[in-house]
Amino acid sequence: AQSVAQPEDQVNVAEGNPLTVKCTYSVSGNPYLFWYVQYPNRGLQFLLKYITGDNLVKGSYGFEAEFNKSQTSFHLKKPSALVSDSALYFCAVTGAIFNKFYFGSGTKLNVKP
């Protein structure tokens, strides 16, 4: 069965420090991986994706993610967190044979001044 795991319900980090939000996946075939961010009472906003090619992908607002095939992971990272990065982050996966995106349970990121 296809699935996405975000093992941390919440991540706390101080402003200016690096942040990592973890994601692992299980999917048949080659994965297409995505990160979305959700601010309170808003929709899901696309951050970045991995389809093929370079394992390190860069996205909006200084975020990046690294695809690791052997560990089936796609962790979201940012070198220096901002208070405004505080939000709910969702990892998602799909593939060429699927008709939907599978979402993780979400990780709440708290960046403190």
Rule CB under 8 A: which residues touch other proteins? 32, 34, 36, 38, 40, 42-46, 49, 51, 88, 90, 94-96, 98-103, 105-106
Considering the complex, what minimum distance in angstroms separates the CB of residue 49 from other proteins?
A: 5
Count of Cβ atoms closer than 10 Å to residue 35 Cβ: 27
Query: Encoding tokens for residue 112?
Result: 């403190």
Check if the beta carbon of residue 55 is closer than 8 Å to that of residue 66: yes
For residue 57, the minimal CB distance to other proteins (Å) is 12
Q: What tokens were used for 78? A: 């940012």
d(CA 91, CA 50): 11
Complex with other proteins: residue 14 or 51, whichever CB lies closer: 51
**Least Å distance between CB 110 and other proteins?**
15
